[in-house]
Chain A
Amino acid sequence: MSATTERPRLAVGRIGERLPREDAVPKVTGEFSYASDLSTPGMLWGDTLRSPHAHARVVSIDVTAALGLPGIHGALTHEDVPGKKLYGLEFADQPVLAIDRVRYVGEPVALVVAEHPEQARRALEAIVVEYEPLEPVVDMERALEQEPLHPDRPTMGHGYRDDRRPNVVRHLVIRHGDPDIAGDVVVTGTYELGIQDQAFLGPESGLAIPDGEGGVDIHVATQWLHVDRDQVAPCLDLRPEQVRLHLSGVGGSFGGREDLSMQIHSALLALHTGRPVKMVYDRAESFTGHVHRHPARIRCEHRATRDGRLTSVRMQILLDGGAYASSSTAVASNAASFGLGPYRVDNALIETTAVYTNNPPCGAMRGFGAVQTCFAAEAQMDQLAAELGLDPVELRLLNALEPGDSLPTGQVIEGSLPTREVIRRAAALPVPDQETLPRDPLRLPGGTGNTTTGEGIRRGVGFALGFKNICYSEGFDDFCAARVVLHADGSAVVHSAAAEVGQGVVGVMLQVARTELGTDEVTLAPHTTATVGSAGSTSASRMTWMAAGAVRDACRAALEERERRGGGEVDVERVHRHPRTTPLDPETGQITGERAHVALAVAAMRVVVEVDVELGLTRVVWVGTAQDVGKAVNPLALEGQIEGGTAQGLGLALMEEIVTRNGAIQNASFTDYLIPTALDMPPVEIELVEVPEPDAPYGVKGVGEPPTVVSTAAIVSAMRAATGRPLTRAPVRPDDICL
């Protein structure tokens, strides 16, 4: 067991200091131990047989031939799942292994376990599955009229609108004021986004080890250990404490590790063989092994007065959730709640529909529904500015949403939301002068390709504003536990199940503990479900807030306890909760209590691009951004989040798209699913706007998502300015510019 046992003591400081990451050097030098590096003596290798069909009836599965092959220790199908046959992050609608139907290409159908991965691979080829192909549902619009893929409607009866159309995962209508109210000007548009992938570098992997007493330990790269455990245990027919999840080295997640991948499968194989079983997806398998960002089609109508005040906005948002529900219902809620952008709009009608199809399942990805709507809403704001002859920044300032205003759900903003300040600070960043020619091709669109020496180049400056919520919403009972052990010698150990996925929560927890305890002698215990309660998910930009709160509370309680006892060793666990939320009304989309969302964060971004308008190639020259961060716990780590989030948004603007044909992914490799390289990323100038969030520990806000929400919109805004084209679809293809 190499990856998870010992953790070196991290030499970090207190809250507010610029601190380098402890894992930065090992990651760059290749010494960091990822889940794919897990290894233990006597381990076997598991592998997964996946559906080649987007939609088919499973007539029969015969594993006999596979079982006879050398090195094979087992081959399992749905019949071998001892407990619940279905699982899911929010709705148990997904079979552990396909039962009588497959609903997407890549759906797990059977498992094998062997001495060597190559033997496992050959055994997969020997499994005979008889399918009866069915017509796949691949168009999100037509899905609403086609045969239902889940006739039992798993998401209905959870307080959502009762929509009887086939394949509706969730239909949400937010009606606010009088949406029919007229304006002096009207702008309309239809916007589309392709499927973006998290493209994390560390593929899904894990190691399941039977404990010899019927239980199992699963070492895995994930975002939420306890929710994994709570999905795994019922399928194995075990009690939760018999299944222990331990965090292994995570190579990025971005939402793609919220749903289970190989957790149940590896545990099934480990319990079946009584031996440790490792599973690692290869790159192609990884593309089908996790959910993606929802592709979307968004229709908008914005009405405004002649002087630029928004009077009414209508939005119709269609999201393709793919074959299973995953977190589509929550993504739909976010898309609707933040659809308008951070603008004060008294009258609105926002209709969001998430559908089931036979496309790859979609779920959580950084930005979570707000990315798609920001792209549409900001294009509309630019169009409105052009229509009114107003400066786009002025138009945004004029309509900026501020504390005291309400969201279209009726929620009044009580926390911090410095919208005008982020707009002003981003707009004030000086835009670099145009570089002279001739230039190194690396500083021109086309880059190393040497496609231009200056021909066809147009410069454009764009601006966008984006916001989203921090923490889980709509009544979800969200909490985070932390345990602090104070030793008699004054040193302390912090236990937390918070998943470090590269965002830096490890450093945050140490900073908080050092600050609260007033000592440098703090270490972190391994992240596990075995010694501490749930930390909740590393998602929804919530982990810094929640972990900081839990560690702070536990530290303070530990100090009190020691004080009370007059010294000695103390060991306390505390649970931190943020203010409670309540669901949206299923008919009106209005809040049913004080709030449906906990807090908000806003970011503004200014972008300079150069576009070769004859070849349709783009160079993002410069990005300047101001972000509302509450309190910068570690400014260096925060800047890393902003740069990384911007790169991911740049990817969606320019190149990142999973292409499907009849539901099958056509580019499941890093050869053809392109993500930005260092040569595609511009320098990012960053302004941190610190207005403390009153409800949050130390006033912090999550920072991981806002840059991703705003950057795609801002970059394409600059590209529109450069090309004069509407560019209503992301990613923008060269064809959209020059054909």
Chain B
Amino acid sequence: MEVFRPSTLDEALRLRAEHPQARPIQGGTDVMVELTFGDARPEALLDLSELAELRGFAEEDGLLRLGAGLTYTEAMQTPLASRLPALAEASRTVGSPQIRNRGTIGGNLGTASPAGDALPPLLAERAEVELASARGTRTMPLAEFLLGVKRTALAPGELVTAVRVRPCEGPQTFAKVGQRNAMVIAICSLAVVVDAEAGEVRAAFGSSAVTARCVVVPLAEAAELPERVVEAASPIDDVRATAAYRRHALRVLAARTLERCLRT
């Protein structure tokens, strides 16, 4: 198997255009599992881990630009954790310390699992995805980027380069249900953001529909949130949990996280 190791974003985008069959790999915590299990046998890998352009985060005029290579460990640290507390809480639930050191939000978007833990907090913050190709750069709302189970709007030749968020000032939090106390895929999860400026509460849930999904209610009708979340969900029975439990747990989580936010 061939491995391309570009050292600049331009080089990466050129390689991406020339070798459409090359699979991007950032932290590799999803890709390597697919390779080991034989679920994917790409002809080549495009290693993005050396690209300085994708690392870390930057802030300009209140707009945060999270590099696609931002790790969960980094998202859990200040100052980022105080700007995006729900993302920090979600990051803390991901895998183990080793996985959090390698795994990235760009990779979480790339995989687009309904259980991806970075997705609900970013959706609830109305994040935009920055996509680049040799042709140029475009952005789109994360909600539009996520098309289905492990399906995204990424076009041929494109890479996710960043996620852009303008953190709202109100309280926010994240909670995730799993059948053990750590290192577990979400049975369901929920991020809540109280956006006083916009006069609304946004809640985004994971593992209860084909994609992570966001629900918005006016602040004045915040009490409706648990019901609205359950209505928006279309969970299934699987080996991890029943659909009935997922609905029940979403309702409980919505009530609790909302209460937590409004209490503070």
A binding-site residues for B, Cβ under 8 Å: 121, 282, 284, 442, 445-453, 455-456, 614-617, 619, 654-655, 659, 666-667, 671-672, 674, 676-677, 679-680, 733-735, 738-739
A666 to B174, CA, bound (A): 30
Residues of B within 8 A of A676 (CB): 180
Q: A447-B178, A677-B180, A738-B252 are in contact. List 15 more A-B contacts (CB 8 A).
A: A121-B38, A442-B181, A446-B177, A448-B176, A449-B178, A450-B89, A450-B92, A615-B177, A617-B179, A655-B180, A666-B239, A674-B180, A679-B181, A734-B179, A734-B241
Q: Smallest CB–CB gap between A652 and chain B, Å?
A: 13
Given contacts A449-B177, A734-B179, A734-B241, contact A674 B184 (CB under 8 A): yes
Q: Smallest CB–CB gap between B214 and chain A, Å?
A: 19
Inter-chain contact A680/B92, CB cutoff 8 Å: no
A-B contact pairs, 7 of them (CB 8 A): A447-B182, A448-B176, A449-B176, A451-B256, A671-B185, A674-B184, A680-B180
Residues of A within 8 A of B260 (CB): 453
Inter-chain contact B176/A451, CB cutoff 8 Å: yes
A671 to B238, CA, bound (A): 13
B253 contacts the other chain (Cβ, under 8 Å)? yes
B93 contacts the other chain (Cβ, under 8 Å)? yes
Q: Which of A284, A448, A450, A671 counts the most chain B CB atoms within 10 A? A: A450
B14 contacts the other chain (Cβ, under 8 Å)? no
Given contacts A453-B260, A455-B256, A615-B252, contact A447 B181 (CB under 8 A): yes
A-contact 0/1 string along B11-46, CB 8 Å cutoff: 000000000000000000000000001100000000
A654 to B242, CA, bound (A): 16
Inter-chain contact B177/A677, CB cutoff 8 Å: no
Q: Smallest CB–CB gap between A723 and chain B, Å?
A: 15
Q: Which of A446, A449, A450 counts the most chain B CB atoms within 10 A? A: A449
A-contact 0/1 string along B237-264, CB 8 Å cutoff: 0011110110011001100100110000
Inter-chain contact B175/A450, CB cutoff 8 Å: yes
Inter-chain contact B252/A450, CB cutoff 8 Å: no
Residues of B within 8 A of A446 (CB): 175, 177-178, 181
Chain B at the A interface: SS class: mixed
B172 contacts the other chain (Cβ, under 8 Å)? no
User: Which residue of the partner chain, among A451, A614, A679, contacts B182 with CB atoms under 8 Å?
Assistant: A679
Residues of B within 8 A of A442 (CB): 181-182
Q: Smallest CB–CB gap between A662 and chain B, Å?
A: 14
Question: Which residues of chain B in 145-202 are interfacial with respect to chain A, using CB atoms and an 8 Å cutoff?
Answer: 173-185, 187, 189
Residues of A within 8 A of B180 (CB): 447, 654-655, 674, 676-677, 679-680
The 10 closest A-B pairs by CB, nearest first: A447-B181, A449-B176, A679-B182, A679-B181, A666-B239, A448-B93, A448-B182, A451-B175, A667-B239, A450-B175
Residues of B within 8 A of A452 (CB): 256
Q: Which of A121, A676, A739 counts the most chain B CB atoms within 10 A? A: A739
User: Which residue of the partner chain, among B173, B179, B189, B252, contacts A655 with CB atoms under 8 Å?
Assistant: B179
Given contacts A455-B256, A739-B248, contact A448 B239 (CB under 8 A): no
Residues of B within 8 A of A445 (CB): 181
A617 to B249, CA, bound (A): 11
A-contact 0/1 string along B51-76, CB 8 Å cutoff: 00000000000000000000000000
Residues of A within 8 A of B177 (CB): 446, 449, 451, 615, 617, 734
Residues of A within 8 A of B252 (CB): 456, 614-615, 738
Q: Smallest CB–CB gap between B101 and chain A, Å?
A: 16
A666 to B183, CA, bound (A): 19
Q: Smallest CB–CB gap between B27 and chain A, Å?
A: 17
Residues of A within 8 A of B256 (CB): 451-453, 455
Inter-chain contact B182/A734, CB cutoff 8 Å: no
Residues of B within 8 A of A451 (CB): 175-177, 253, 256
User: Which residue of the partner chain, among B174, B181, B239, B249, contacts A734 with CB atoms under 8 Å?
Assistant: B249
Question: Which residues of chain B in 193-243 are interfacial with respect to chain A, using CB atoms and an 8 Å cutoff?
Answer: 239-242
Chain A at the B interface: SS class: loop
A615 to B244, CA, bound (A): 12
Inter-chain contact A615/B249, CB cutoff 8 Å: yes
A685 to B257, CA, bound (A): 36
Q: Smallest CB–CB gap between A260 and chain B, Å?
A: 26
Residue of A nearest to B241 (CB): A734
A57 to B252, CA, bound (A): 50
Q: Smallest CB–CB gap between A516 and chain B, Å?
A: 45
Inter-chain contact A677/B182, CB cutoff 8 Å: yes
Inter-chain contact A735/B245, CB cutoff 8 Å: yes
Q: Smallest CB–CB gap between B254 and chain A, Å?
A: 12
Residue of B nearest to A671 (CB): B185
A515 to B210, CA, bound (A): 65
Question: Which residues of chain B in 80-115 are interfacial with respect to chain A, using CB atoms and an 8 Å cutoff?
Answer: 89, 92-93
Residues of A within 8 A of B173 (CB): 450
Q: Smallest CB–CB gap between B182 and chain A, Å?
A: 4
Residues of B within 8 A of A284 (CB): 37
A739 to B244, CA, bound (A): 8
Residue of A nearest to B178 (CB): A449
A699 to B93, CA, bound (A): 48
A448 to B253, CA, bound (A): 14
Residues of A within 8 A of B187 (CB): 734
A220 to B38, CA, bound (A): 26
Q: Which of B178, B241, B244 counts the most chain A CB atoms within 10 A? A: B178
A304 to B181, CA, bound (A): 40
Q: Which of B179, B187, B252 counts the most chain A CB atoms within 10 A? A: B179
Inter-chain contact B181/A450, CB cutoff 8 Å: no
A679 to B180, CA, bound (A): 9
A-contact 0/1 string along B102-138, CB 8 Å cutoff: 0000000000000000000000000000000000000
Residues of B within 8 A of A734 (CB): 177, 179, 187, 241, 245, 249
User: Which residue of the partner chain, among B176, B179, B183, B240, contacts A654 with CB atoms under 8 Å?
Assistant: B179
Residues of A within 8 A of B244 (CB): 735, 739
Inter-chain contact A738/B248, CB cutoff 8 Å: yes
Residue of A nearest to B252 (CB): A614
Residue of B nearest to A674 (CB): B180
Residues of A within 8 A of B38 (CB): 121
